[in-house]
């Protein structure tokens, strides 16, 4: 039996101890299972990890060469084996192979020059930004701008990803075409949904009397030639390297709308916060390393307790798009076929809203669902402080209640407790702390993949359905469809 198999056997055979008993038996538990880094406080103490499990997971990390895989990632080696290329999103924030870091800096300066020109009026007066993309080309910018751009925004920003024409109707109705900058974000500049939305936007501009609709457009892509062929002037095409994956791309020129809407200083602080978490992931020992500890928690519940989902609850309205962002990051990265459970299904909600919707199941349902609470210590509003106090009190109380439960002879009022949760407390939600948070989730995803022995940087699983959709759209006669799908096509199309 291999060392890895022996370690997994030890982890899987460990008898679980109730959370309250773990606290009672170890006065140092809180210190052992909390980490403070880059303005974030991570509390994993309400999970079932104990000293023995930590030792076993740390040994597993060594057996799986997590350090070597991490070093290869930072060095810009071809860690994406199935596609034969590196994964260099960290070079965008100054961490990686020197040539890649230099290229990232040069492309950032190109982006800044375009932003300076726009702010100086080179493209006329801009009041609105319409960002077209899908997946990582949309989720990252949408999340960051929504989180940080709420007070006195410089521009109205709409991010449209859905190919459903209804998604375009909102900004088309609200925005004045004359003052709208259209940003088309597509790594390949062939993404079907994005390009159809782009064509419809060109028509919207033309219908409004804009003589040169392409003069209102900026392209963000790893294939600049295709953007130029589409009609966008080369000076308004912002490239990024092929080695930057879509769901890891907001640090590159895909972050252009972030830098334009929030300001260049905010974009730089976002990068600096992420770089701080990069350094922590690279240098901290396994059991003091927030992304690695989080991966240990994930793997304990998926591998030994049969947990198929993980719930993420943002106790701050500004983080309302966190769960959708993480769904792509984690499930597209680690939802791969292998003989072990891989990524849990990530789902979640926002603050007290979720309490009144799904927490009944968390407290008394039959499913084991590890919960993750994300909160911000400093309020993001100027209302009565009671609002934020009640928000935080509810967040902390839910974690406590899940763990301790409540005994009752009435089965309807009995809470079994021993339900695990983690908490991430952000001191202040600003660009640096948000950058650190997002980098934490990236490294957690990578650590999970490394410990399981899978490649988190490809996504072939999204292709099959798209291939069939293209064949249906092209009316390919040789297409062999099942009777149900054929009937649906005949009924609706």
Q: What is the H or E stretch that residue 237 is in?
A: strand 237-239
Q: Which of 367, 387, 414, 466 is catalytic?
A: 466
Q: Which residues pair with 315 in a beta bridge?
A: 375
- The set of residues, in sequence order, having a beta carbon less than 8 Å from that of 135 and lying 6+ positions away, is 161, 246, 247, 328, 332
In this structure, the number of other CB atoms found within 10 A of the CB of residue 294 comes to 24
Give the DSSP letter string of 303-359.
HHS---EEEEEEESGGGTTHHHHHIIIIIIHH---SSS--SPEEEEEEHHHHHTTTH
382 is catalytic: no
Q: Retrieve residue 379's tokens.
A: 């309020």
Which DSSP letter does residue 248 get? Answer: G
Rg (CA), the chain: 24
Q: Which residue has the tokens 């449209």?
A: 160
To which residue do tokens 């679980």 refer?
A: 16
Active site residue 69: no
Exposure string for 14-41, b = 16+ CB within 10 A, e = fewer: beeeebeebeeeeeebeebbbbebbbbb
User: What are the residues facing 239 on neighbouring strands?
Assistant: 221
In three-state secondary structure terms, 34 is strand
Catalytic residue among 151, 173, 356, 490: 356
Strand partners, 43: 34, 423
3-state secondary structure 388-421: HHHHHHHHHHHHHHHHHCECCCCHHHCECCCCCE
CB-count exposure of residue 154 (10 Å: 0-12, 13-18, 19+):
middle
Closest CA to 447 of 308, 297, 253, 235: 297
How many of the other CB atoms lie within 10 Å of CB of 203? 11
Active-site residue, from 37, 88, 332, 372 = 332
Burial group, residue 116, by CB count within 10 angstroms (0-12, 13-18, 19+):
exposed
User: Does the active-site annotation cover 332?
Assistant: yes
233-271 core/surface letters (b: 16 or more CB in 10 A; e: else):
eeebbbbbbebbbbbbbbbbbbbbbbbbbbbbebbbbbb
- Joined tokens for residue 142: 């949408």
Side-chain-facing half-sphere of 39: CA atoms under 13 Å: 25
- Per-position b or e across 447-462, b if 16+ CB within 10 A of its CB: bbbbbbebbbbbbeee
Catalytic residue IDs: 332, 356, 466
């Amino acid at each position: 039996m291999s060392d890895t198999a022996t370690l997994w056997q030890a982890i899987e055979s460990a008898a679980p101890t109730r959370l309250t008993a773990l606290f009672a038996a170890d006065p140092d538990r809180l210190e052992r299972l909390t980490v403070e880094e880059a303005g974030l406080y991570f509390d994993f103490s309400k999970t079932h990890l104990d000293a023995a499990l930590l030792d076993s997971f740390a040994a597993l990390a060594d057996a799986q060469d997590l350090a070597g895989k991490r070093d290869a990632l930072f060095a810009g080696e071809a860690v994406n084996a199935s596609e034969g290329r590196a994964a260099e999103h960290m070079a965008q924030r100054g961490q990686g192979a020197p040539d890649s870091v230099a290229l990232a800096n040069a492309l950032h300066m190109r982006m800044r020059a375009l932003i300076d020109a726009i702010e100086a009026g080179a493209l006329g007066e801009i009041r609105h930004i319409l960002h077209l993309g899908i997946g990582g080309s949309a989720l990252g910018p949408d999340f960051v701008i929504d989180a940080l751009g709420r007070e006195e925004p410089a521009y109205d920003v709409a991010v449209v990803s859905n190919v459903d024409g209804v998604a375009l109707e909102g900004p088309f109705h609200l925005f004045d075409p004359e003052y709208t900058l259209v940003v088309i974000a597509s790594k390949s500049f062939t993404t079907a949904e994005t390009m159809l939305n782009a064509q419809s936007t060109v028509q919207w501009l033309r219908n409004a009397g804009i003589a040169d609709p392409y003069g209102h457009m900026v392209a963000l892509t790893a294939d600049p030639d295709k953007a130029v062929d589409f009609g966008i002037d080369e000076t308004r095409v912002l490239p990024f390297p092929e080695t930057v994956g879509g769901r890891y791309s907001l640090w590159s020129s895909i972050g252009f709308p972030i830098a334009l809407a929030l300001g260049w200083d905010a974009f730089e602080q976002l990068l600096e916060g992420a770089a701080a978490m990069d350094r922590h992931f690279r240098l901290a020992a396994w059991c003091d390393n927030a992304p690695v500890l989080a991966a240990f928690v994930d793997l304990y519940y998926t591998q030994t307790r049969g947990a198929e989902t993980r719930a993420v609850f943002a106790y701050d309205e500004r983080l309302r798009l966190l769960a959708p962002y993480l769904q792509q990051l984690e499930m597209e990265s680690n939802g791969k076929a292998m003989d072990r459970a891989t990524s849990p299904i990530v789902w979640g909600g926002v603050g007290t809203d979720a309490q009144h919707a799904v927490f009944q199941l968390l407290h008394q349902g039959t499913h084991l669902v590890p919960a993750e609470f994300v909160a911000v210590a400093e309020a993001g509003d100027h209302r009565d402080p009671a609002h934020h106090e009640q928000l935080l009190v509810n967040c902390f109380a839910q974690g406590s209640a899940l763990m301790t439960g409540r005994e009752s002879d009435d089965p309807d009022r009995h809470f079994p407790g021993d339900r695990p949760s983690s908490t991430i407390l952000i001191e202040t939600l600003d660009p640096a702390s948000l950058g650190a948070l997002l980098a934490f989730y990236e490294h957690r995803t990578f650590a999970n993949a490394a410990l399981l022995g899978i490649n988190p940087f490809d996504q072939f699983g999204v292709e099959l359905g798209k291939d069939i959709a293209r064949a249906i759209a092209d009316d390919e006669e040789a297409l062999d469809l099942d009777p149900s799908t054929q009937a649906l096509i005949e009924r609706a199309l």
